Amino acid sequence: MILLFDFGGVLVDLDKARCIDSFARLGFDIRPYLGTYRQQGPFSLLERGEIDVPQFCSELRRLGCRPGTTDSEIVRAWEDYLTEVPAERLDMLLKIRRHYPVSCLSNTNCIHWGQAERDFFNYRGRQVGDFFDHVFLSYECHLEKPAPELYAHVVRTLGVPAAEVLFFDDSEVNCEAARACGLQALLAPAGSQWFKYFDENGKLHLP
């Protein structure tokens, strides 16, 4: 069994209100673009890897950021959407990895994943590669969940039958799409509630 974890909302905590406030200070209303599980407009383009960071920032200035807003200010505001990956989740991932191959599948972008590598998975001398065997990122795959093509790509890369992949995501839509592609999937609500699927040593303990 290979375990596949979502990143946003499952591993990393999100603060939508803080992000909205940070962009408001730049004169930009992010609310029409900020979805619960998937972004819109230039944010979605960034998450599919169809535009780079300078293009993303230029588009936000065109859409309403106050004149003179720098790329760095926009990047920092977008980073304010992510808060932390609590140590208990990092420790649990390390325990789980003693028993199972572990990978990550995320709708994310180069800004947030760079932040994750720098601030969240840089933990007690460890790096991203110490937590995951494979990392599947929408901006590198040029696909976003729940696209069936993305799940098919994951299964091909992992090299196992789809039924041997167990996916944890905080969106039932994404879970249903994974099941439709033959994967197993469990809803993993925010706040470390997915711990209920494991015992204290990181072994699966399913209802």
The pair of structure tokens assigned to 34 is 């900020």
CA–CA gap between residue 42 and residue 62 (Å, rounded): 11
> For residues 114 and 160, what is the distance between their CA atoms, to the nearest angstrom?
29
Lowest-pLDDT range, 34-48, 113-127, 131-145?
Answer: 34-48
Q: Facing residues of 137 across strands?
A: 106
What's the whole-number mean pLDDT along residues 104-131?
Answer: 97
How sure is the predictor about 46, in pLDDT bands with cuts at 50, 70 and 90?
Answer: very high
pTM: 0.94
CB 89 within 8 A of CB 146: no
Q: Does the pLDDT at position 168 exceed 80?
A: yes
E strand segments, the chain: 2-5, 102-106, 134-137, 165-169, 184-187
Dist CA 177 CA 174 (whole Å): 5
Give the CA radius of gyration of the chain. Answer: 17
In angstroms, the CA 164 to CA 155 distance is: 9
* pLDDT bucket at 134, cuts 50 / 70 / 90: very high
Domains, the chain, with CATH or none: 2-13+84-197 (3.40.50.1000), 16-79 (1.10.150.240)
Hey, what are 65's tokens? 């950021």
Q: What is the pLDDT of residues 51-100, one digit of tens each?
A: 999 999 999 999 999 989 999 999 999 999 999 999 999 999 999 999 99
Q: Is the pLDDT reported for residue 4 higher than 80? A: yes
pLDDT of 37 above 80: no
Q: What is the largest CA-CA distance in the chain?
A: 55
**C-alpha to C-alpha distance for 2 and 162, rounded to whole angstroms:** 10
Nearest C-alpha neighbor of 184 from the set 159, 150, 161: 161
* Euclidean distance between CA atoms 20 and 26, whole angstroms: 10
Q: DSSP secondary-structure letter at 170? A: S
- pLDDT greater than 90 at residue 38: no
Q: According to the model, what pLDDT value does residue 56 have? A: 97
Query: For residues 63 and 75, what is the distance between their CA atoms, to the nearest angstrom?
Result: 16
